[in-house]
């Protein structure tokens, strides 16, 4: 979560040079190359079973492809802290997805937590004159990323029973880069070849590829295998805090009192929505 919190800062820095499609495409290509080299040097490559080809293709469609489309374009239009807060609502909606896909019961505490978090988002979205303080299109992209992440979580859980975290992330990043390739070539290649990379750009891209797209996802996949999606997603509550802290010191992002209060309300709502679930699992354990 620390690495993902930092990724919003790193992405904002890369956006000074490249557009969103170029940023994500290069991030995934570099990550895939590094992971493939690591696997061939230190691990025995694991072949994907034919019956899992479709599952890998569909899961990579939702993440990294659709998720990064939403997150990157949203982040290009919305502040890094607001983006992190919206992404942190993923665990908030996990019980809702579980209700419809797995027929898990939605408790009253889940519903109360959802309402509280939404009220926090509203506090952050509107200024003193009740005008939306963030770009509506950017917000739409970010909530699209949340939707993609929720569907991806269900698909990821199926893959963790057959493959290691390293194998899953390596193949998904490679497939995701393949999905982004035609968009990159058609929309942003001309702009890409006109940019002369400097030290800041190269360093930040490597940080995104190695730590945000490789290490963080491998750690997260390991967590999903060990404690499940719902409990694992709770830790995304930490992302806005990390992002806000580093945005203040690195990007000099301003924090009006309404954003601070709204962020606290969102996080409290998410925690509350998970309290009943965690207590129940502790009791039956």
What SS3 state is found at 63? helix
What SS3 state is found at 106? coil
Residue 98: per-residue pLDDT: 67
Cα–Cα distance list, 143 to 138, 170, 204, 219 (Å) = 9, 26, 25, 24
Give the C-alpha separation, 186 to 144, whole Å.
23
**Concatenated DSSP letters for 7-50?**
HHHHHHHHTTTS-HHHHHHHHHHHHHHHHHHHHHHHSPPPPPPG
Residue 23: per-residue pLDDT: 96
Token pair listed for 132: 């939306």
The pLDDT averaged over each successive group of 10 residues in the chain (285 residues) is 93 95 96 91 84 95 96 93 82 72 66 76 68 82 94 86 90 96 97 96 96 91 78 73 83 77 78 58 44
> Does the model's pTM come out above 0.85?
no
> Which ranges of 43-127 does DSSP label H, i.e. alpha helix?
53-60, 67-77, 80-87, 90-101, 108-125
Token pair listed for 20: 């969103």
Angle, helices 20-42 vs 199-207, to 10°: value is 60
Q: 52, 108 in Cβ contact below 8 A?
A: no
Residue 149: per-residue pLDDT: 92
Domain count of the fold of the chain:
1
Containing structural domain, residue 177: 2-284
Closest to 250 measured CA to CA, from 11, 90, 24: 11
Positions of E strands within the chain: none
- Phi, psi for 48 (deg, rounded to 5): -85, 130
- Phi, psi for 261 (deg, rounded to 5): -65, -45
Token pair listed for 106: 């939605």
Enclosing H/E stretch for 74: helix 67-77
Residue 281: per-residue pLDDT: 45
């Amino acid at each position: 979560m620390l690495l993902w919190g930092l990724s919003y800062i790193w992405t904002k820095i890369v956006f000074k040079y490249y557009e969103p499609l170029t940023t994500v495409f290069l991030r995934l290509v570099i990550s895939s190359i590094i992971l493939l080299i690591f696997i061939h040097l230190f691990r025995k490559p694991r072949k994907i079973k034919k019956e899992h080809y479709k599952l890998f293709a569909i899961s990579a469609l939702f993440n990294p492809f659709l998720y990064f489309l939403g997150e990157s374009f949203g982040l290009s239009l919305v502040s890094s802290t607001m983006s992190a807060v919206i992404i942190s609502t993923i665990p908030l909606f996990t019980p809702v997805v579980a209700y419809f896909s797995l027929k898990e019961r939605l408790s009253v505490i889940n519903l109360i937590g959802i309402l509280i978090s939404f009220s926090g988002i509203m506090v952050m979205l509107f200024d003193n004159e009740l005008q939306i303080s963030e770009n509506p299109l950017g917000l739409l992209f970010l909530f699209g990323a949340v939707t993609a992440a929720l569907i991806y979580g269900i698909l990821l859980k199926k893959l963790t029973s057959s493959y290691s975290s390293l194998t899953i992330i390596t193949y998904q990043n490679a497939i995701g880069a393949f999905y982004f390739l035609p968009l990159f070539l058609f929309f942003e290649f001309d702009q890409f070849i006109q940019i002369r990379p400097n030290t800041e750009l190269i360093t930040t891209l490597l940080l995104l590829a190695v730590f945000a797209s490789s290490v963080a996802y491998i750690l997260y996949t390991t967590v999903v295998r060990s404690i499940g999606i719902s409990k694992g997603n709770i830790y995304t509550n930490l992302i806005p805090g990390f992002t806000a802290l580093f945005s203040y010191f690195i990007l000099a992002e301003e924090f009006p009192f309404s954003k601070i209060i709204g962020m606290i309300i969102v996080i409290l709502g998410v925690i509350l929505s998970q309290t009943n679930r965690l207590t129940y699992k502790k009791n039956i354990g």
